[in-house]
Amino acid sequence: RTIYINGEYVAEEEARVSVFDRGFLFGDGIYEVTAVIDGKLIDNDLHLARLERSLKEISIPMPLPVDEIVKVQQELRDRNGLTEGVIYLQVTRGEADRDFGYGEDMKPNFIAFTQNKNLVNANSVKNGVAVDIVPDNRWARRDIKTVMLLGQVLAKKAVKANGFHEAWLVEDGFVTEGASSTAFILTGDNVIVTRPNSHAVLPGCTRRAVMKIIEEENLTLEERLFTVEEAAAAQEAFLTSASSLVTPVIRIGDRTIGDGKPGPITRRLQGIYLDLARA
C-alpha cells in the first residue's frame, strides 16, 4: 500500500512517525473515516466538515485546505486501486519532547491510508448483527472524533469475546451510541428514534444522511433519549457508520428484535442509502 504522510506518498514500510508524536503519547489527535464504494467517496463533504470541526475544538490547525485533502484521498484511492473500502485520515498535534503542555509552534502530523474492505456485501450488512450492552466509560466530549479510543477498544473487546458484533454503550440507563456507530430503534408506533447530538455522542455523518432519507420517505423520526429496555423491546433496530452503512440489529443482549430478521423499514433505508451512495 501507498501511505500519505505530510505531503509525500511512500510505501507503507517507509511511513514513519516519531515516538514523540503527541497522538502516540497523549491520544492528542483527530481522525476521520470515509467509505469508498465503486471508487466513489461516500458522504465525504460531511466527513471533512466534521474533521475541520473536531480539529477546531482541540485547537489543531487544518493540515491542508479541504479541497487539497480531497485530492490526497483521490490520489491514494487511485494509487492503491481502491474500489471498495475506507480511506482513513489522521491529524495529530505534532511532535515535541513529552510534556502535557504544548507550544504555539506545533506542526501537525497528517497521515492517510486506505483499507480494502467488503462493505456492501458484508455478512453483517446482509444478515444483521447482535449487539450487547456495556457501560459507556468514555470521556465527556464524545462529539470530538479523537484518536483517544480506549473506551471503544475495551467495549468492543468485551462484547466480541461473547460473540457480539458491536457494543451499544449505556449511560444513566440510556443508550448513547454504538462503540463505532450510531444507534437507531423503531418503536411499535413506527417511529424511528435516535439520540440527539450533544457532547455525549459523535455526530454521525451516516446518521445525518439517513435522517435526510427518513424525511424524504415521510417516515417519522424522533430525536430523543431511549433506554436499554425500550431498545430491547423495539420492533426493529439498526446502526449506522461510514463502514457499516445501514446495518440491521437483530438481537440486543439476550433479547431478539422483532422476529430476529432485519426489519422492513431497516431494509428500505439500507436500500435507499446504498442506491444514493452508488448513484
Residue 244: CA count within 13 A, CB half-sphere: 23
Q: Which three cell numbers stand for residue 19?
A: 515516538
Residue type, 119: L
> Nearest approach, Cβ of 101 to ligand PLP (angstroms)?
28
Check: CB of residue 159 under 8 Å from CB of residue 252.
no
60 CB burial (10 A radius; 0-12, 13-18, 19+): buried
Closer to ligand PLP by CB, 70 or 233: give it: 70
Q: If binding is defined by CB under 6 A, does position 206 make contact with ligand PLP? A: yes
Closer to ligand PLP by CB, 33 or 221: give it: 33
Residues 242-261 that bind ligand PLP (CB under 6 A): 242
Nearest one of 20, 18, 19, 16 to 5, comparing CA atoms: 16
Q: If binding is defined by CB under 6 A, does position 73 make contact with ligand PLP? A: no
Q: If binding is defined by CB under 6 A, does position 270 make contact with ligand PLP? A: no
> Nearest approach, Cβ of 181 to ligand PLP (angstroms)?
5
Residues 74-113 that bind ligand PLP (CB under 6 A): none
Name which position in 89, 119, 202, 214 contacts ligand PLP (CB under 6 A): 202
Nearest one of 197, 190, 159 to 176, comparing CA atoms: 197
> Nearest approach, Cβ of 253 to ligand PLP (angstroms)?
19
What b-and-e string marks burial along 195-219, b requiring 16 or more CB atoms within 10 Å of the CB? beeeebbbbbbbbebbbebbeeeee
Nearest one of 233, 155, 147 to 189, comparing CA atoms: 233
Q: If binding is defined by CB under 6 A, does position 34 make contact with ligand PLP? A: no
Question: Per this entry, what is the length of the chain?
Answer: 279
Closer to ligand PLP by CB, 80 or 241: give it: 241
**Residue 107 falls in the annotated catalytic set:** no
Q: If binding is defined by CB under 6 A, does position 205 make contact with ligand PLP? A: yes
Name which position in 181, 247, 266, 270 contacts ligand PLP (CB under 6 A): 181
Q: If binding is defined by CB under 6 A, does position 240 make contact with ligand PLP? A: yes
Residues that bind ligand PLP (CB under 6 A): 33, 177, 180-182, 202, 204-207, 240-242
Which residues are designated catalytic? 145
